[in-house]
C-alpha cells in the first residue's frame, strides 16, 4: 500500500531567468509506509528539488505529488494541513532554520501549541518529552540555538519536527555538515526513531556510504533523472549502472569496489545545458555512439532492480 508517492511522470522544471532548468525530469518515485529510501547523487543532480517537492514545499511545474494516493493540490484546507504536519523536512543546516531569538522550548513547543496538538498547560512537559526523544537534556530548554554544538542543533531540529507527530521525514543532507562521529550518532538516532515511531524516511545524501546502513531501497539520480533503483542490498552488492559503480568506488571503506572501478571523473555538467542522449555519456568509460543520441530508459534488470543504461539492451 503506497502511503506517500511522488508521481512526477512528465517533465518538471523550475524557471531561472529566461532558461528552464529541468531539475527533476520524468521521475516516478513511490515510497511505501515504513520504508527508508536513500536518494543519492552529486550536488546539482536534482535530489534536493525532488525532496522539496515530495515534502510539499515546492510544487512541481508539471506532474503531481500524491499523498496517501491523492494529489496534494486537490486536498481541502484541513487535509492539506494534516499532510503538511505529517511530512516534516530535516535540513543540512539546522541553525539556518532555528530562530536565533527563540529559546529551545519555544522552538519545539510553538507548532504543537498553534496546531492544538497539546493544551496550553501541557506544552512544557510535551517539549521535555520531545527533547528527550531526540537525545537532548530537557534542562537545556531555556537556552538559545547559538549555545549548542552542530550535533545538538540538529537534535533540536529533529525534536521540533517530531513535536508535530509526523509519520514521514524527508532528511536533506541531514548529517553532511557534522563530524563523522556525530554523523554516526545522528544516523543511529534516526534508526531508533524509525523503530519507536514507525517512521517513513526519504534520506537524501551525496554520499552512498551515509545511506548504506540506513536504507531499504536506494535511488540514484544523475542530472535530474533516476538512473538506478533497487534494494540497498542489490545496489551495494550488484550495482548495474556505470554511475552507481563510480559512486561506490568513492566510498572509502568499500575496498573491493574501490579496486574494481574508478571514481566519477570530471565535473557534473550544468543542468542548464545537459548533454544529449544519456546525460552521463561525457563521463562514462563505457559510452558508445548510441549513448550520445538516445536517452536510455529505466528497465528491470532483475526483480525490483531498474537501471537506465544502453548496455543492458546490448546483452
End-to-end Cα, the chain, rounded Å = 34
Among 38, 60, 135, 242, binds ligand SF4 (CB under 6 A): 242
Which one of the spans 20-28, 62-70, 174-182, 274-282 is the region binding ligand SF4 (CB under 6 A)? 274-282
Q: According to the binding rule CB under 6 A, does residue 311 interact with ligand SF4?
A: yes
Residues near 63 by beta carbon (within 8 Å), at least 6 away in sequence: 7, 8, 9, 10, 11, 12
22, 281, 305, 306: residue in contact with ligand SF4 (rule CB under 6 A): 281
**Interface with ligand SF4 (CB under 6 A), residue from 218, 296, 305, 306:** 296
Q: Which is nearer to ligand SF4, 54 or 287 (CB)?
A: 287
Q: How far is the CB of 86 from ligand SF4 (least distance, A)?
A: 37
Cα–Cα distance, 32 to 23 (Å, whole number): 24
Stretch that binds ligand SF4, among 24-32, 120-128, 252-260, 306-314 (CB under 6 A): 306-314
Return the residue of 291, 301, 305, 306 that touches ligand SF4, per CB under 6 A.
Answer: 291
Spell 177-189 as b/e; 16+ CB within 10 A means b: bbeeebbeebbeb
Q: Is 298 in the site for ligand SF4 (CB under 6 A)?
A: no
Q: Tell me the window of 5-13, 173-181, 259-267, 278-286 that interacts with ligand SF4 (CB under 6 A).
A: 278-286
Which one of the spans 12-20, 40-48, 105-113, 276-284 is the region binding ligand SF4 (CB under 6 A)? 276-284
Looking at beta carbons only, is 142 or 265 nearer to ligand SF4? 265
Instruction: List the one residue from 37, 89, 127, 287 that touches ligand SF4 (CB under 6 A).
Output: 287
C-beta closer to ligand SF4: residue 153 or 245: 245
Q: Specify burial of residue 16 (Cβ count, 10 A radius: 0-12, 13-18, 19+).
A: exposed
Which of residues 12, 284, 298, 301 is near ligand SF4 by CB under 6 A? 284
Residue from 136, 278, 298, 301 that binds ligand SF4 (CB under 6 A)?
A: 278
Residues engaged in binding ligand SF4 (CB under 6 A): 242, 278, 280-281, 284, 286-287, 291, 296, 309-311
Amino acid at each position: 500500500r503506497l502511503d506517500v508517492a511522488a508521481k512526477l511522470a512528465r517533465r518538471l522544471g523550475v524557471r531561472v531567468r529566461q532558461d528552464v532548468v529541468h531539475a527533476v525530469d520524468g521521475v516516478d518515485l513511490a515510497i511505501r509506509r515504513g520504508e527508508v529510501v536513500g536518494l543519492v547523487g552529486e550536488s546539482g543532480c536534482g535530489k534536493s528539488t525532488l525532496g522539496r517537492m515530495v515534502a510539499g514545499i515546492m510544487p512541481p511545474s508539471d506532474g503531481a505529488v500524491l499523498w496517501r494516493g491523492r494529489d496534494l493540490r486537490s486536498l481541502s484546507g484541513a487535509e492539506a494541513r494534516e499532510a503538511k504536519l505529517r511530512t516534516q523536512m530535516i535540513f543540512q543546516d539546522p541553525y539556518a532554520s532555528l530562530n536565533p531569538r527563540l529559546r529551545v522550548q519555544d522552538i519545539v513547543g510553538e507548532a504543537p501549541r498553534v496546531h492544538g496538538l497539546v493544551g496550553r498547560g501541557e506544552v512544557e512537559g510535551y517539549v521535555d518529552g520531545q527533547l528527550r526523544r531526540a537525545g537532548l537534556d530537557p534542562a537545556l530548554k531555556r537556552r538559545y540555538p547559538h549555545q549548542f554544538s552542530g550535533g545538538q542543533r540538529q537534535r533540536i531540529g529533529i525534536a521540533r519536527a517530531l513535536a508535530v507527530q509526523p509519520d514521514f521525514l524527508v532528511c536533506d543532507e541531514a548529517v553532511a555538515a557534522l563530524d563523522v562521529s556525530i554523523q554516526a550518532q545522528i544516523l543511529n538516532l534516526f534508526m531508533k526513531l524509525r523503530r519507536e515511531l514507525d517512521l517513513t524516511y526519504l534520506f537524501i545524501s551525496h554520499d552512498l556510504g551515509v545511506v548504506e546502513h540506513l536504507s531499504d531501497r536506494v535511488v540514484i539520480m544523475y542530472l535530474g533523472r533516476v538512473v538506478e533503483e533497487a534494494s540497498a542490498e542489490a545496489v551495494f552488492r550488484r550495482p548495474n549502472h556505470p554511475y552507481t559503480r563510480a559512486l561506490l568506488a568513492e566510498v572509502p571503506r568499500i575496498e573491493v569496489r574501490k579496486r574494481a572501478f574508478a571514481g566519477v571523473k570530471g565535473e557534473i555538467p550544468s543542468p542548464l545545458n545537459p548533454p544529449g542522449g544519456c546525460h552521463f555519456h561525457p563521463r562514462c568509460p563505457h559510452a558508445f555512439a548510441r549513448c550520445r543520441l538516445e536517452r536510455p530508459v529505466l528497465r528491470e534488470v532483475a526483480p525490483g532492480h531498474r537501471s537506465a543504461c544502453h548496455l543492458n539492451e546490448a546483452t
